Every structure is written in C-alpha cells, then in structure tokens.
C-alpha cells in the first residue's frame, strides 16, 4: 500500500523530469501536445513515404517525414528543437522497423533525417526568426534553405549510410539523386501547407467572405477533376502525351494568385500526391519509360513548377497585403481627418492649393468644402495680415516642419480670430502636401489677458496697501526737510532784513533750501513710482541696488519698529532681467513680514539679514529673520492666498509675491532657520525662464 509520504516523495522527481522538456513561453500541456502531434504526423509520413517507395529503390519518391520535422522545427523556438527531434524518434522506429528494415539502417536514417531538418531550419532561422512563408523574401529563403540546401547536403550522408548498410542495389549517386529530389519535393509540397495551417488565425476564419469560400471550392473541384483525369489513367486517352502534365497548371496559378503561398502550397501538394502515385504505378502520362524514369521526371517537373508558383503566390499576397494595409490606413486617416475637433486643411506644398478640409474647418471659416478645394489661402483671404500669410507660405515651401505659429485669421463673414497653426508634411496621391492644423485660441488669449490684468491690478493694490503702512514713515521723512526749509527760509528773511543784507550767508541758506527740497522730492518720487500702475517691464537689474533702495525706503519704518537690518551683498553680481518696482515690492513684503514675525521679540533680538549671492545662471536674495518662524509643515501653505496668522492680515502678500516671481520665471520659497526665525529665498534667472538650478548653497 502506498502512503501519502511516498506520493509526495515521488512528486519532485516527476516534476524534475518534466522540467527538462520545458519550452520557454510554452505551457507543459502545449509542449506535450506538440510532441504528440510531431510523433503522429511523422509516423503517418513514414507510412506514406514507404508506400511511395518503389521496390527497385531503397529510398522513396516522395518522403514526407523530413518535411514534417522541418515544419515542426520552424514552428518551435530553437531551444526546443531537440525535443521535437526526440518526439520523432519512436515514430521513426515504429514506422520503419515494422517494415522489416534493419535496425542500423533505421537508426542511420534517423540521423540523416534529423540532419536534414536541422540544416534547413538552421539556415532559415539564421535570416528570419518568424515561422511564416508570407512574403517573397521568406519564400525565397525557404526554397534556398529548406528545399535545396537541407536535402542537398544531408543526401550525401544518407547515401553513404545506405552504402554502408548495403541496403538495396542502387549505387551511391543514384541514391543521392533520388533522396535529394524526393526530399526537396516533399519539403516544397508539405512545409508551406503545414506552416500556413499552423499559423493561420482560426478566429479570422469566420470573417472569410462567401465569395472566397465559393472560389476555393471551385478551385479544389477543378484541380481534383483535372488530376483525376490526367493521373489515374482511367479517363485519359490512350495517346495522351507528357504535355498533359501542364493541364493542372492554370489551377495552380489561380491558387497562387488568389490564395497566396498557402493556396499554392496546398494545390502543389494535391498535384504532387497524384503525380507521384501515378508515376510509381506507371499510369499516364508517365507510362512511356520505366517507373524509375517516371519518378525522376515527376519529381523534377513538380519541383521546377512549384518554386515559381510559391514565389508568385508570396509576391502577389505581399502586394495585396500592402495595398490592404495602405487602404486601411487611408481609411483611418480619413475618419480621423473628418472627425477631428481641430480645423484641418491639406494643401499642396508647391502652390498652396487646398486639397481637402474637414468639417471643423468649414465651421471655423464659413467656406464650404466644395468652395475651398482648389483655392489657395490668398484666394479665400484667410489671413488678416499679408506679412503673416507670406511668412506662413515661406515656412511651408521650405522643407521644415512648422511648429506653432500664431496668426490672425479671418472667416468668410469677416470675423477675426487668433489661431495657432502647425503643419506637417504628408504625401497625398503621390504629391507632396502639408497637413495644417488650426486651433482657435482667441478665447484662451482673452482669458490670459484678463488674468494678466487682474494680476497687475492686484499687485498694484498690494503696493498701495504697503504704502499705506508706510505713510507714517513717509510723513516723518517729509517732515524733516520741510521743517529745515521753513527754518532756513525764516533765517533768510531775517538776514535780508539786515542793513546791509548778508548776501553770502543768504546764498548758503538758499543752497540748503534747494538740497532739502531735493530730499523731499526724492521721497515723493519713490512713493509715486510705487503707486504707479504698470505692466511687467523687464530690464537688466542690479539686485544689490534694489536691496539698497528698499532698505533706504523702509529706513524710518525700520527705526520705528526697532529692527536692525544687516546686508551682505555679493560683489559684482550679474544683472538679471526684472521689473524694478515689482522686485522692490516683493522685498518690501518680505521685510514687513519679517518685522511682523519679530514684533513680540525683545528689541535686541529684532534683526533681519539680507544676503545676495549668484551663480552662472541665477541670482538669489535671502531674507532671514529671528522671528517666530513658520508653523511646522506650513512652509508651502504660507504662499496660498488668504493664509494668515495675523489678526488684521489679509493673507495675500506672499501669494502676490510668488505670482510676481513666477512671472519673472523665478522662484520664491521659505524655510525655517535651524535656531529661530524663517528665511525667504528669492531666485531670479539670468535667462528669465524657470527651472531647476535653484539649489544654490
């Protein structure tokens, strides 16, 4: 009695044995199935081959097993070839030993048969990994490697084996020739049919139109009929000539042209079976000489006719597939073209004449397709400006691909809209054309403009608000020069009242008055500059200078708030393209926030440091304070609109600052200091556009 333990113990060795037969990408079931199919097919092939062997000859007139083996190798991965060869061995032994052939001869033949299949499959696989005979190139490769090379080379070995075993009475070269021809014939008759059947998509069978099925039936009936008439010798007239062999040729050609290499292969197989059978049985039209001569002529005839038939079939099928693929891609293009949500137009590259337009184009321009075809963009006055029209044409005429050109276009009714056009070279009906895509961006531009205006307005309002905070400081700064002017004017009056007036002293006083007035004027000028409403004006800016200006501007305010400012400005800092007023605004905002953050600190701890630094492509301004710092994890959130921790704060300052910096292509971010307070970093690039290099030390 077997215990469970015994069963478990046996399991791994059984698995190990099966794993030897593992074919990459194949399931175990599939491998076993393939082995079984090869064995059965090979066995049947041996029986047919032996049935078609003449008594006077040691080798058959048509020997299918080697062709079956070759087809099996072509259909399996190279690493599994030995499995297929092994699967054929029992079939080979069973088929031939039962026929009374000596064991050594049987084993020798197994070697020469395997050699043939390996040479042929190896030669084909060397140049093509696909097991398909669907193109001209593949069929030529198959004929050269499979039909000619494999049988040619292996027949030397085979004939030598026959001589060595003293099997039959034929000489070396006779055996070699019969073996070569019989195997070449079997290969060309069988392999295309097997490979085609194995690789055919069964799910596509249902899609075959009725017309094609009827045609296939008619072709089969016709071919079988002709073969029966010619080769069975029953109906053919007594004086039938060898020329009758050509009677099936129209059917073979029909099969090749209409059904490709698969059809050609199948009809060649049918004719080969009939012809070989007739030849060895001495039927018409082969009854003129010996059976041996019959066999030779039928082999040569079939090989010579099959090769061009197969290649014609492949060439025709390849062309047909190419045309079908082209038609399908044209259909797909037409569908995509018609239903595209963008306006599309195809124009001739040479003269700009319109070849086709889609529905969206008709809607956009108000011209119908019929009106547009044949006209040029000038004829339809599509461009608002001549300059843009000629620039567009020039770009099309030059071979370059047109990437996003913004133009103003006009519809039939005169409506003007802004659009982005892109163009791509295409070939339509063998003519070089251009596919132009037109995208209306009027709305997008309007929205962008609106957003821009709103941003400018917001930035302006925020500056006005900042100035509001500075009003006390400004009043103080204005008071000083005004009081000095007043005092000096009074002193002047007094000096003028003296007799004689002291004109030298009066001149000094007047000079002081002018200097004080200038100081007052400077304060007012700065205020006016900040109050001005304006668009972004990028000019080469010395960042250090802006820092100095801001510190000076906030001078009184900083004194009032008892905050000390340290500056460490990098010497010879490169200029960056920026708007002076807006950068001032950002710095003022950062300084105000720093002061707010330190409001609760003891006086001696209220200090801000402003550091500038630069690299090859960017400059950085860092404003570090000793305040309360940003709440943990909120370093990004502080830039969101309406985020505020102040009782009367709006939470808009930093969000506006970031918008301003982004508009410059720069970056603004915040980090908490290791000890106390926060540092805000502002980076501006020298080429103005944003991206990565912000991690300055």
Shortest spacing between CB 474 and ligand ADP, in angstroms: 20
Q: How crowded is residue 407: how many other Cβ atoms within 10 Å of its Cβ?
A: 19
Cα-Cα-Cα-Cα dihedral sign, residues 298, 300, 303, 308 = negative
CB 263 within 8 A of CB 307: no
Shortest spacing between CB 620 and ligand ADP, in angstroms: 17
Shortest spacing between CB 508 and ligand ADP, in angstroms: 47
Burial class (CB in 10 A: 0-12, 13-18, 19+), 563: buried
Task: Name which of 128 and 596 has its Cβ closer to ligand ADP.
Answer: 596
Can you give the C-alpha Rg of the chain in angstroms? 48
- What phi and psi values does residue 445 have, to the nearest 5 degrees? -60, -40
Task: Name which of 536 and 650 has its Cβ closer to ligand ADP.
Answer: 650
**Euclidean distance between the first and the last CA atom of the chain, given in angstroms as a whole number:** 81
Rounded Cα distance, 184 and 223, in Å: 22
612: DSSP letter = E
**Max CA separation in the chain (angstroms):** 164
Rounded Cα distance, 195 and 70, in Å: 10
Shortest spacing between CB 615 and ligand ADP, in angstroms: 25
Rounded Cα distance, 596 and 273, in Å: 103
144: DSSP letter = I
- DSSP H or E segment with residue 221: helix 210-231
Task: Name which of 159 and 587 has its Cβ closer to ligand ADP.
Answer: 587
Task: Name which of 313 and 627 has its Cβ closer to ligand ADP.
Answer: 627
CB 665 within 8 A of CB 583: no
Shortest spacing between CB 633 and ligand ADP, in angstroms: 13
Shortest spacing between CB 574 and ligand ADP, in angstroms: 27
Task: Name which of 26 and 643 has its Cβ closer to ligand ADP.
Answer: 643
CB 120 within 8 A of CB 149: yes
Q: Which residues contact 268 (CB under 8 A, 6 or more apart)?
A: 188, 189, 192, 252, 302, 305, 306, 309, 310
Task: Name which of 181 and 657 has its Cβ closer to ligand ADP.
Answer: 657
Task: Name which of 269 and 678 has its Cβ closer to ligand ADP.
Answer: 678
Task: Name which of 544 and 589 has its Cβ closer to ligand ADP.
Answer: 589
Rounded Cα distance, 338 and 356, in Å: 10
Task: Name which of 377 and 655 has its Cβ closer to ligand ADP.
Answer: 655
Q: How crowded is residue 94: how many other Cβ atoms within 10 Å of its Cβ?
A: 16
Shortest spacing between CB 631 and ligand ADP, in angstroms: 7
Task: Name which of 242 and 605 has its Cβ closer to ligand ADP.
Answer: 605
Task: Name which of 542 and 635 has its Cβ closer to ligand ADP.
Answer: 635
Shortest spacing between CB 536 and ligand ADP, in angstroms: 20
Shortest spacing between CB 637 and ligand ADP, in angstroms: 8
Shortest spacing between CB 464 and ligand ADP, in angstroms: 14
> Helix 172-199 vs helix 249-280: angle between axes, to the nearest 10 degrees?
130
- DSSP H or E segment with residue 31: helix 28-51
Task: Name which of 569 and 628 has its Cβ closer to ligand ADP.
Answer: 628
Task: Name which of 414 and 602 has its Cβ closer to ligand ADP.
Answer: 602
Shortest spacing between CB 627 and ligand ADP, in angstroms: 5
Q: Give me the residue label for tokens 């037409």.
A: 334
502: DSSP letter = -
Rounded Cα distance, 316 and 324, in Å: 12
Task: Name which of 206 and 647 has its Cβ closer to ligand ADP.
Answer: 647
Strands of the sheet containing 354-357, edge to edge, are 354-357, 343-348, 431-440, 416-428, 402-410
- What phi and psi values does residue 586 have, to the nearest 5 degrees? -60, -45
Question: Which contacts qualify for 383-391: CB closer than 8 Å, 24 or more apart?
Answer: 383/407, 383/408, 383/409, 383/410, 384/408, 384/409, 384/410, 384/416
Task: Name which of 41 and 597 has its Cβ closer to ligand ADP.
Answer: 597
- What phi and psi values does residue 667 have, to the nearest 5 degrees? -140, 145
Shortest spacing between CB 635 and ligand ADP, in angstroms: 10
476: DSSP letter = H
Residue nearest to ligand ADP (CB): 653
Shortest spacing between CB 638 and ligand ADP, in angstroms: 4
**What value, to the nearest 5°, has the Cα angle with vertex 545 and ends 541 and 546?**
75
The DSSP line for 230-285 is HHSSSSS-TT--GGGGGTTHHHHHHHHHHHHHHHHHHHHHHHHHHHHHHHHTT-TT
Task: Name which of 613 and 622 has its Cβ closer to ligand ADP.
Answer: 622
Shortest spacing between CB 546 and ligand ADP, in angstroms: 19
Q: Which residues form the interface with ligand ADP (CB under 6 A)? A: 589, 593-594, 597, 625, 627-630, 638, 643-646, 649-655, 678
CB 593 within 8 A of CB 584: no
Shortest spacing between CB 600 and ligand ADP, in angstroms: 11
Shortest spacing between CB 437 and ligand ADP, in angstroms: 42
CB 62 within 8 A of CB 186: yes
């Amino acid at each position: 009695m077997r215990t469970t333990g015994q069963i478990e113990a046996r399991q791994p060795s059984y698995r190990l044995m099966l794993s030897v037969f593992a074919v990459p990408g194949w399931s175990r079931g599939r491998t076993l199935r393939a082995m079984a199919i090869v064995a059965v097919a090979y066995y049947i092939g041996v029986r047919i081959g032996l049935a078609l062997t003449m008594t006077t000859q040691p080798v058959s007139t048509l020997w299918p097993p080697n062709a079956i083996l070759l087809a099996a190798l072509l259909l399996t991965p190279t690493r599994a070839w030995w499995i297929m060869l092994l699967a054929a061995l029992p079939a080979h032994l069973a088929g031939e030993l039962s026929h009374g052939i000596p064991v050594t001869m049987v084993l020798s033949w197994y070697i020469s048969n395997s050699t043939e299949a390996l040479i042929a499959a190896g030669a084909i696989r060397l140049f093509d990994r696909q097991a398909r005979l669907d193109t001209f190139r593949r069929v030529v490769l198959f004929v050269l490697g499979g039909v000619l090379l494999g049988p040619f080379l292996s027949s030397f070995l085979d004939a030598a084996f026959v001589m060595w075993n003293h099997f039959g009475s034929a000489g070396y070269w006779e055996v070699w020739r019969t073996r070569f021809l019989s195997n070449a014939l079997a290969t060309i008759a069988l392999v295309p049919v097997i490979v085609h059947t194995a690789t055919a998509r069964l799910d596509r069978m249902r899609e075959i139109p009725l017309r094609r099925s009827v045609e296939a039936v008619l072709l089969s009936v016709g071919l079988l009929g002709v073969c029966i008439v010619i080769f069975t010798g029953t109906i053919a007239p007594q004086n039938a000539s060898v020329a009758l062999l050509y009677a099936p040729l129209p059917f073979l050609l029909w099969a090749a042209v209409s059904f490709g290499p698969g059809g050609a292969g199948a009809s060649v197989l049918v004719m080969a079976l009939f012809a070989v059978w007739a030849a060895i049985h001495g039927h018409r039209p082969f009854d003129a000489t010996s059976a041996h001569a019959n066999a030779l002529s039928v082999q040569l005839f079939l090989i010579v006719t099959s090769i061009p038939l197969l290649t014609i079939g492949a060439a025709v099928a390849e062309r047909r597939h190419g045309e079908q693929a082209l038609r399908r891609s044209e259909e797909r293009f037409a569908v995509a073209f018609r239903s595209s949500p963008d306006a599309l137009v195809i124009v001739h590259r040479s003269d700009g004449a319109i070849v086709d337009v889609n529905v969206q184009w008709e809607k956009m321009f108000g011209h119908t397709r019929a009106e547009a075809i044949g006209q040029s963009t000038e004829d339809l006055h599509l461009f608002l400006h001549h300059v843009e029209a000629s620039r567009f044409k020039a770009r099309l005429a030059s071979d370059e691909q047109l990437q996003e050109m913004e133009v103003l276009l006009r519809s039939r009714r005169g409506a003007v809209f802004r659009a982005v056009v892109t163009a791509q070279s295409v070939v339509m009906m063998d003519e070089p054309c251009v596919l132009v895509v037109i995208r209306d961006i009027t709305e997008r531009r309007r929205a962008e403009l609106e957003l821009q205006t709103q941003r400018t307005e917001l930035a302006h309002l925020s500056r006005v608000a900042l100035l509001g905070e500075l009003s006390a400081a400004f009043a103080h700064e204005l008071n000083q020069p005004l009081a000095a002017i007043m005092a000096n004017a009074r002193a002047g009056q007094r000096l003028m009242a003296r007799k004689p007036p002291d004109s030298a002293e009066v001149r000094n006083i007047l000079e002081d008055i002018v200097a004080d007035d200038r100081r007052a004027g400077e304060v007012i000028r700065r205020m006016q500059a900040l109050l001005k409403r304006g668009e972004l004006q990028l000019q080469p800016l010395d960042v250090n200078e802006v820092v100095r200006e801001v510190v000076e501007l906030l001078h009184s305010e900083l004194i009032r708030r008892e905050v000390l400012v340290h500056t460490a400005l990098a010497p010879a800092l490169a200029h960056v393209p920026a708007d002076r007023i807006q950068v001032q605004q950002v710095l003022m905002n950062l300084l105000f926030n720093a002061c707010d953050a330190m409001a609760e600190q003891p006086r001696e701890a209220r200090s801000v440091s402003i550091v500038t630094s630069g690299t090859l492509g960017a400059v950085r301004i860092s404003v570090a304070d000793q305040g309360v710092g940003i709440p943990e994890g909120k370093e990004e959130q502080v830039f969101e609109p309406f985020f505020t921790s102040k009782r009367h704060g709006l939470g808009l300052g930093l969000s506006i600052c970031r918008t301003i910096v982004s508009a410059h292509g720069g970056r603004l971010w915040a980090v908490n200091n290791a000890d106390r307070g926060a540092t805000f970093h502002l980076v501006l690039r020298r080429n103005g556009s944003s991206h990565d290099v912000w991690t300055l030390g």
